Every structure is written in C-alpha cells, then in structure tokens.
Amino acid sequence: MKIVVCIKQVPDTNEVEIDQETNTLIRAGVPAIINPDDKSGIEAALTLRGQIEGSTVTALCMGPPQAEMALFEALSMGCDDAVLVSGRKFGGSDTLATSTILSAALKKIGYDLIITGRQAIDGDTAQVGPQIAEHLNIPQVSYVEEIEPEEGGLIVLRQFEDRYHKLRVKFPCLLTAIQELAQPRYMTVGGIVDAAQKEVRVMDFDSLADLLDPAAIGLSGSPTRVVRTYTKEPKSQGTVLTGLTPDEAVDAIMARLHEGHLI
C-alpha cells in the first residue's frame, strides 16, 4: 500500500510577527518547523506501514527550496521517499490553488492513502486536506484521532465537537490528522544517516503542466483576499472577589453577567 503524507514547513508561531503593511507573516529569521498536525500524520503513516505488509510512506511538501529541510526531517523519522513541489509559478497560492497543485502531484506519485494535518498553524484554515479529497474525488475523514487497519480500508475514530464518530472507509481515501492521533518519534542517528543518502525529488510546474491550468494556480488562481492579519491580543487580568459569603459571591457574579449582557 502506498501512503502519502502531505506536510508543510511553517514558522514557529511562538516567534512570529505580522507585517502591518502587507498583512503577511514575517518569515525572515524565524525558525521553521514541520507543522505539528502533519508530524502526527507522519507518525500515523509510519505506524500503519508496520501494520500493513508491503506499505511505503512518501512525504510530500509544497514550498520554497528551503522546505527540503522539512522533508529531510521526515526522511530521518523513517519515511521511504520525499517529494518537494516547488516553483515560482506556485508562489502566492491560497488554499484552493495549493490543493489544486498538490492534487496534480498526488496523481503523478500515486496513492492508496493520503494523510494531511488537520490545519497549519500559520493559517489555521483546515481547508487544504478536504479540498485535495474533492479534487481527487475520493472519500475523506477529517479530525482523525485513531486508526485501525482492516482488509481494504480503515476504521477511524473522528473527533467531533461533543462526541466521536466511528467510521469505516475504503481505499483510496484521505484522512486529516489531529495532534492526538500519534506522538511523533524523534529522529535517530541511523535515520539521519539513511536520509542523507536519499534524494528529495523535485516537481516544478513543467513536471505537472499536463495536469495544471496556469490560471488556477499561484496568485492569479487564488480567490482568497486577506483584509487584515493580526496577532492574538492578551486578555486583561480577571477580577478576584474575596471575603464574600456564598450568597454574596453569587450576587456579585450574576451582577457581572448582567453588566456584560450575557444573561
């Protein structure tokens, strides 16, 4: 079985700042990491490889040339193969254009199971994985927390607001992983040595030209427009009420709720 994990190299958001003029993240000088949900997806794929005989795991990443470092880490974790989708014509792609490009690459690579992260910490849209499934016309299950292989498919536990869904899905299919799905393993010395001997394949526009409409990729193929981007503002410290009886505390809390028009 061929498992493909879509990963993204993202800035470590603990150190991110926003360019107020362009409404974009300032990436220069910011450490880059594999998106956490995607890393859980890598671990889940490697676990499935051990459970399903004859399986392979390919890491697929779209990004600039430096995203090759994320793929090197994926190889060092144990992935069998790595593919970087990169090219100037892909620049400026929003989630729709990105999913279009990745879908074309997936058609070239081949797949039985595709695993993506639920969402990337630099965008938080949770759109690319489901959009890929729609482009490829395959079933999808999002917010996956557990995976159990069975003949011809999987049984998955999907996290959903106030409950769980237990679903059976047949191959080929796509899953979006949450961090709770798996605890990623560390790179090993042996894994790093093996990764250094592997080549990251690069797919540019010419490699995918027969499957892509230039008008549907890059900035021209991206209908999303960012009006404003901002960091989360810290909340003010709450009020601590002391020295009150239980009845007085209830009255004080109710009064605050009324003031805030919450009740």
For residue range 182-208, list pLDDT tens digits in order.
Answer: 999 999 899 999 999 999 999 999 999
At 230, the pLDDT band (50, 70, 90 cuts) reads low
Q: Which residue has the higher pLDDT, 262 or 2?
A: 2
Question: Taking 90 as the threshold, does the pLDDT of residue 239 lie above it?
Answer: no
Cβ proximity of 100 and 226 under 8 Å: no
For residue range 48-64, list pLDDT tens digits in order.
Answer: 999 999 999 999 999 99
Q: How much of the chain, in percent, has pLDDT values that exceed 90?
A: 75
| Confidence at residue 14, expressed as pLDDT on a 0 to 100 scale | 60
Question: Taking 70 as the threshold, does the pLDDT of residue 173 lie above it?
Answer: yes
| Confidence at residue 106, expressed as pLDDT on a 0 to 100 scale | 98
| Confidence at residue 18, expressed as pLDDT on a 0 to 100 scale | 64
Neighbours of 82 (CB within 10 A): 25
What rounded mean pLDDT belongs to the chain? Answer: 91
pTM, whole model, 2 decimals?
Answer: 0.83
At 22, the pLDDT band (50, 70, 90 cuts) reads low
For residue range 79-135, list pLDDT tens digits in order.
Answer: 999 999 999 999 999 999 999 999 999 999 999 999 999 999 887 889 999 999 999
